[in-house]
Structures are given as C-alpha cells and as structure tokens.
Amino acid sequence: MNNNKVLHLSLSALSEEIKSKEISPVEVVLELLARIQEINPVVNAFITVLEEQAVKEAKQAEEEIMAGHCRGPLHGIPVGLKDLIYTKGIRTTMGSKIYQNYIPDRDATVVQKLKKAGAVLIGKCNTQEFAYGPTGDASYFGPARNPYNPSKMTGGSSSGSGAAVASGLCFGALGTDTGGSIRIPAAATGIVGMKPTFGRVSKAGVHPLGRTLDHVGPMTRSIRDNAMLLSVLAGFDHEDPFSHNLGNEDFTRCIGESISGKVIGIPTSFYFDRVDEEVKGKVKKAIKVLEDLGAVIQDVEIPVLSKVSYAQLKTLQSEAYALHEELVLSRPQDYQAPVLERLKQSAEALGFEYVKAQDIRQEAREAFNTVFDRVDVIAAPTVGILPPDIGQTEIFVGGKTEQVRSALLRLTEPACVTGLPSLSVPCGFSERALPIGLQLIGKPFSEARLYQVGAAFEQEASLSTLKWDVPPLVQQS
C-alpha cells in the first residue's frame, strides 16, 4: 500500500478493503499520522493528534477483523472529532484558552457510538472558539486554513473538521452546526456535510452554544461515506432532552435510486439574492444536472425567510450568553476578540425579542411544511460567497458591502431555525479554484432522500466537468 492509494480511497472503499483484509488498519493509521505531521502545520486542522491511542485502536481493530469479528463498516476507519465533543481522558479545548487543558471525565454519546462501531479516533479538530462564529479563524490555537488556498478561510465553526477531511488527514469527521457550522466549511473546502434533523443525533456530551439550535453531524468526501457515518451516529438518547426516538435507520438505502419524478423546489427569493455570480452560476448548473436526471424543477415562494436571520440572531444571542455570562464577566481577557465582541452584543438581547424569535421560528416551520407538500427537496447555494481571506471582516456582494459573518451565515440559518435536515454537496469551483457548495434541504427526518438526490448529482458530476478532486495543496505534498 502507498500513501497515494490511501489518499484517494473513500471511507466506504477503505471499509471494504479493511473488511476483506486487503489493507491493515494499522498501516492506514501510520500513513495518516505521517501525513498529518506533514500537512497539519499548513492547514492547522488538528488541535490534538492522538498518535498512541490511534495506533492502539487500529491494532485492536486489526486483531478483531483478522479473527473474523468485524463490527461494521466503520471498523478500523480513522475519524476526527470537532474539539467541542467530549472525549474521556483526552483534552477538549473548545478552541479556547479557557479550556486549553480541560480533560472530560466522559465520552459524548456520539463518541461512544463511534467506539462501539470500531472507528479509530485520530484527533481533535480545530474549531472557532466555542463554535461562536462562521469564519473558522478565531481559535486560541490559530485559524484553520483552507487546503485549496491557505490564505483563505475554511469557514466555521467546524473549521478543522472541514480542513482535515478535505486534506486527506482522516476519512470522516464530526462537526456541529448551530447556524451553518457543518455546511459552511463543507462548502468552503469542497466536501460533503450533513446537518441532520434537530434531535436526530444526540448532543449529550457536546459543549453547547445554543441549546435549541445545536446539531451534530458528519463531514466526509462522498455522499455514501456521509450516510454511513450518520447511520452510526443517529438514534435516541435519554441524556439529550431533544432526542427523537425513531429507532435505527440505514441512511444509505436510497443511494443509487433514480431521482426521476422527484420535485426539486427552487426558491424565487432570498436564497439567490446577494449571491456571488460564480456561486450562482455553479449552483444553477447543478440544478440543471438534476433536471437532466429526470427531476422536476419547480419555483417556490417562502416569504417568511426575510425574518429568519432575526429569529436566528435573537435565539442564539440569548442562549449563548446564558451559557457564557459567568465566564464573560470573570475572564473576558481570555476570549478571542471576535467571540467576546459577539458575546457582549448577545448580552443586549431582550426577553421579548427571544419570544418574538420563537414565534418566527414556528411561522418558518409552517411555511416550509407548506412547501414540502408540493416538493421533495429544496435546492439552493450553501454559502452565497466564495471563501474570504483569513481575518477579512467585510465583503462586497450583490451590489452592497456586508459583514463576512452575515454573508457566510445567511443561507444556512433557515435550516437551523426550523430544524430541517440540510446537506451541502460540492458542485464545482470558482475561476480561482475555490470550492462551491449546493445545499439540499428536506422535510423533517428525510435525510435518506437528501442523500438519494445528492448521490445522483455526485455520480453525474463525477463524470462531467464538475468533477472535484484532491486539493492542490495535498497533490503537491
């Protein structure tokens, strides 16, 4: 086996190689650890690399598989974890000076599930401090950098998870998404990111930001890989008060099925307003691919979307400040400046604004439900702009200047406000070789259907000029 072969294998392909005993999990981990040593200083994807533990877990996986005891498709597969996700005996920093030496006494429920499935935990991924921000460049441990251009943002807050997967430093990673924090970095780094339905995946043991907005989900290089990871992560957990008891589900089950006759809704406003022309062009080409595959394209109107940013802002401000008040008052100097600024603004949120925001959230849920009576999936850009420069705070798009933060968040917020599942799929590159994402939004608990549509596009795109590949940074290494 050589490094190049491992790099180009998907999680699902590697799983088959390991299961058939063609590739050793130990060899894979050693190759990745060598690659992390080489690439991580450039992209800063990992805060903590678990060298000894990863090799130990790989050896155990290899022994079990050689003995005929395969635990499933993740057995022996190296994955990364956003550093908000608690790991027993392993530091979990939240990207913050305040928690730089914090060692939890428990594993998050999702970590327990990964361990039970035999996955190998290879490292804790960089994150925007406390996940409070979509840029990914405000971490105590330095900004994560985009593998396609290290001067550009990865997007956040699951910045390190996106950079690690895109750079071939792991075969999948977990992120969290409160306003777009899985899908934004997925779009910016050219990978697949799923924000599941709210309550589909347990948040127990994951440091919270906004309790009624937080989601945990998978980030991978292919649709099937993503569905395989979600199949392990999903399920009821009594420790999470928002968890839904739906039983186990195979999210790969619809992949490969035709999408002929599926109705794809295209919003007539909001999602295509103030969007970079290159982004708009690639997304419209992607929609044409879906139409050519037999999908029915239908315009839809969702008027409430103009209120969604207010609902997201006031809900998150109130919930985030409630969690951070004590630390903001006692240790303000230990926060990253952009995060402290947002928290100070959050302290100004008023009670009636929070109540008003919840009314808008319910209105938005009802509006989307009405649309989903007529369409199967909504398609739109994931992010309306190309990855900005690290440290950039303003951007000119759609004829006006706005904050980078709001430009990154605007199109991903509605799915968090409503709790709807939302999948970001790579759909091409800008002229300067920066990735662009297509966002697919579905009705509650329709993740398998989103994967069906996403996989149909992915398969067709891989045979066309929309094909994506390993980032130039990785190719040159």
Catalytic (active-site) positions: 82, 157, 181
The first and second tokens of residue 128, run together, are 């925007």
The alpha carbon of 350 is separated from its chain's Cα centroid by a whole number of angstroms, namely 30
Distance separating alpha carbons of residues 443 and 402, to the nearest angstrom:
31
Give the torsion through C-alpha atoms of 398, 400, 403, 406, to 10 deg.
-40
CB 268, CB 298: distance < 8 Å: no
Degrees to nearest 5, angle at CA 434 with 433 and 436: 120
Helices and strands (H and E) in the chain: how many: 16, 13
Closest alpha carbon to 141 in 119, 163, 171: 163
Q: What are phi and psi of 41, to 5 degrees?
A: -60, -25
Listed in order, strand segments (DSSP E) in 330-398 are: 377-381, 394-397
The three state secondary structure string of 436-447 is EEEEEEECCCCH
240's CB contacts (< 8 A; 6+ apart) are 109, 199, 202, 203, 204
Strand order in the sheet with 215-220: 46-49, 120-125, 78-82, 173-177, 215-220, 192-195, 422-429, 435-442, 377-381, 263-267, 296-300
Distance separating alpha carbons of residues 405 and 182, to the nearest angstrom:
15
The strand pairing partners of 48, in sequence order, are 124
Q: How far is CA 327 from CA 82, 96, 324, 346, 409, in A?
A: 22, 12, 5, 14, 26
The first and second tokens of residue 463, run together, are 């045979």
- SS3 for 196? coil
Closest alpha carbon to 188 in 375, 48, 441, 384: 384
What is the DSSP code (8-state) at residue 123? E
138's CB contacts (< 8 A; 6+ apart) are 95, 128, 129, 156, 336, 337, 338, 339
- SS3 for 289? helix
